[in-house]
Amino acid sequence: MTTPAVAAAIRKLLPKQVPPSLSSQPGNLYQVLARYPQDGVGQRVYQTVWGVKGIEGSYWEVTRTKLKLEGNHGKAWGKLYWKGKQVSEKEERITGGLKRRWASGESRAAPNFVPRTPTPRSS
């Protein structure tokens, strides 16, 4: 059992903020892939905005990566699965790795998602 003094000493030794490569939160594509062995090859990743838009069952299956700067930048290739169906036959470059937030797994609709219904225009 640790005493409060020992726990406080350990907290002082640890960094205030966990490095992005060790965080479980969404981040850019390369930060998410850097958390896994072989730089994320074989992982399924998706843009978190897909869930906000109500897009379910969509993801990239990563086939190849080249990460640099401790996993903050790089390049990634994979196959796209859109709403459960494979879209890309061959591997292709995954774009938007730094522009959006990414997470591992398959996309799922956000709990507060409400589909929009078109409103008729008045003449």
pLDDT at 1 over 60: no
Report the C-alpha gap between 49 and 107 in whole angstroms. 9
47 vs 24, which has greater pLDDT? 47
What does the pLDDT read at residue 21? 56
Q: How far apart are CA 101 and CA 27, in angstroms?
A: 5
Rounded average pLDDT over 109-119? 72
Q: So where are the chain's domains?
A: 42-106
CA angle 104–27–22, rounded 5-degree value: 80
Q: Is the pLDDT of residue 111 over 90?
A: no
Query: How are beta strands 73-82 and 85-86 bridged, if at all?
Result: antiparallel
Q: What is the pLDDT of residues 46-95, one digit of tens each?
A: 999 998 888 889 999 999 999 988 778 999 999 999 999 999 999 999 99
Closest CA to 72 of 30, 40, 26: 30
**Residue 38 and residue 119: Cα distance in Å, rounded?**
49
| The pLDDT value given to residue 64 | 95
Start-to-end CA distance of the chain, whole Å, equals 75
pTM: 0.72
Per the model's pLDDT, the better-predicted residue between 18 and 26 turns out to be 26
Query: How many Å apart are CA 123 and CA 70, to the nearest integer?
Result: 57
